[in-house]
Amino acid sequence: MAKTRRNQKWQRDPQGMRLRILDAAKEEFAAQGLAGARVDRIAAKAGANKRMLYYHVGKKEELYLTVLEGAYEKIRVEERGLNLEHLDPPKAIGRLIEFTWNYFLSNPEFLALLNTENLAKAKHLKRSTKVKSMHSPFVEMIRMVVRRGVASGDFVVAVDPVQLYISIAALCFFYLSNSATLSVIFGRDLLSEEARDERLDHMIALVLAALTGKSLAAFARKKPARMSAPAEQPA
Q: pLDDT tens digits for 2-61? A: 454 555 554 556 788 889 999 999 999 999 999 999 999 999 999 888 888 887 788 899
Phi, psi at residue 2, to the nearest 5°? -60, -40
Which three-class secondary structure state does DSSP give residue 226?
coil
Q: State the distance between the two ends of the chain, measured CA to CA, in whole angstroms.
A: 84
pLDDT of residue 167: 98
Whether domain 67-219 has CATH 3.30.565.10: the reply is no
Specify whether domain 1-58 bears CATH 1.10.3470: no
CATH fold match for the domains 1-58 and 67-219 = no
Backbone angles phi, psi at 211, to 5 degrees: -75, -35
Cβ neighbours, 10 Å, residue 146: 21
pLDDT the model gives residue 230: 46
pLDDT, residue 223, reads 59
Give the residue extent of every domain in the chain: 1-58, 67-219
Q: In this predicted structure, what is the pLDDT of residue 56? A: 75
| Regions of the chain short of the pLDDT cut 50 | 1-2, 4, 10, 224-235
